[in-house]
Amino acid sequence: MSPPPFCPSSTPCPLFPTCTSSFMTDASFLRVSVAAVLLLLLGGTVPPAHAQSMGASPLKRSLPPDTAITKTDRVTVKGEEVPYEVTTGTQPVYGDDDTAVASLHYTYYRRSDVDDRSGRPLMISFNGGPGSGSLWMHLGYTSPKHLLISDEGYPVQPYGVEDNNQSIIDVADIVYVNPVNTGFSRVIDDDTDAEQFFGVNADVDYLADWIDTFISRHGRWRSPKYLIGESYGTTRVAGLAGELQNSHWTYLNGVILVSPTGLGMEPAGPSPRSEALKLPYYAATAWYHEQLPDALQSRDLQALLSEVEDYTIEEYIPAVTRGGFVEDARRQAVAQQVARYSGLSEPFVLDHNLAVPADAFWKELLQDEGRTVGRLDSRYEGIDVTNAGSEYDYPAELTAWNHAFTPAINHYLRDDLGFTTDLQYNTFGNVYPWDETENNTGAQLREAMAQNPYLHVMVQSGYYDGATDYFSAKYVMWNLGTRETMRDRLRFEGYRSGHMMYLRSEDLATSNEDIRTFIEESIPDEGTPARYGRNR
pLDDT tens for residues 137-168?
999 999 999 999 999 988 899 999 999 999 99
Secondary structure element (H or E) that encloses residue 285, with its range = helix 279-288
User: Could you read off the pLDDT of 316-344 as tens digits, one per residue?
Assistant: 999 999 988 999 999 999 999 999 999 99
Does position 361 have pLDDT exceeding 70, yes or no?
yes
Does position 51 have pLDDT exceeding 50, yes or no?
no
This prediction has a pTM of 0.87
Supply the DSSP string of 310-371, one letter for each residue.
Answer: HHIIIIIHHHHHTGGGS-HHHHHHHHHHHHHHHT--HHHHHHTTT---HHHHHHHTTGGGT-
Give the CATH number of domain 65-263+404-520; options: 3.50.50.60, 3.40.50.1820, 2.40.110.10, 3.10.105.10.
Answer: 3.40.50.1820
User: Could you read off the pLDDT of 181-228 as tens digits, one per residue?
Assistant: 999 999 998 888 888 999 999 999 999 999 999 999 999 999 999 999
Supply the DSSP string of 133-177, one letter for each residue.
Answer: -THHHIIIIISSEEE-B-TTS-B-SS--EEE-TT-GGGT-EEEEE
Q: What is the mean pLDDT of the segment spanning 371-396? A: 88
Q: How confident is the model at residue 3 (pLDDT cuts 50, 70, 90)?
A: very low
CA dihedral of 192, 197, 199, 204, whole degrees rounded to 10: 140
**Domain spans in the chain, listed from the N-terminal domain onward:** 65-263+404-520, 270-393
pLDDT of res. 535: 61
User: Could you read off the pLDDT of 445-472 as tens digits, one per residue?
Assistant: 999 999 999 999 999 999 999 999 999 9
DSSP 502: G
pLDDT of res. 276: 86
